[in-house]
Amino acid sequence: MYIPYDILIIIAFLMLGYGFGQLAEKKHYRSIRQRETMLKDILIFGAKSPPADWPIVTSELVHGNVVVSVDYFKRFLFSLRNIFGGRVEAYESLIDRGRREAVLRMKQHALRLNSDAIFNIKFETSAVSRGFSSSLGSVEVFAYGTAIKTS
């Protein structure tokens, strides 16, 4: 059976993209877990304001944003998923990594201000670029909230 070289080259590049993409994603998740452990003392709340009995010294807007991209293999799988429908786990991990990274950067901003907690945390997301086949290439996640310092 004859397989054209063009097909073999495409398959090889997809496999390389898959391998390097998996390595990069695992490395990013390791980094996220380490920093989450380091910044666990800065609490975050979805509530609009802290309880009335908290002695607030200062409050300031804090934010964190990140742009995260997927590899070409995941884009290729997404293109196939568009044909057949169903859950797109590759993009779920993209959103998860983006959200967690944005929160970490927001917490680092709060840490620089010597804050104790962040209230009224909100998220904004947007598609930054599109890859081949009109599939999503990168996503920006912006997290923001009100950092407070208690006495």
Q: What is the pTM of this model?
A: 0.83
User: Does the pLDDT at position 29 exceed 70?
Assistant: yes
From CA 42, how far away is CA 36, in angstroms rounded?
A: 10
Mean pLDDT to the nearest integer, 115-128? 93
Average pLDDT over the chain reads 87
- What is the per-residue pLDDT for 87? 77
The CATH class of 5-150 is alpha beta
Kindly report the CA angle at 33 between 31 and 35, in degrees rounded to 5? 70
Supply the angle between the helices 72-84 and 5-38 in degrees, to the nearest 10.
Answer: 100
Kindly report the CA angle at 45 between 39 and 51, in degrees rounded to 5? 120
pLDDT grade for 11, boundaries at 50, 70 and 90: confident
> Where in the chain are the domains?
5-150
pLDDT grade for 119, boundaries at 50, 70 and 90: very high
- Name the nearest CA neighbour of 57 among 132, 140, 115: 115
Three-state SS at 119: strand
pLDDT grade for 129, boundaries at 50, 70 and 90: low
Supply the angle between the helices 89-112 and 5-38 in degrees, to the nearest 10.
Answer: 30
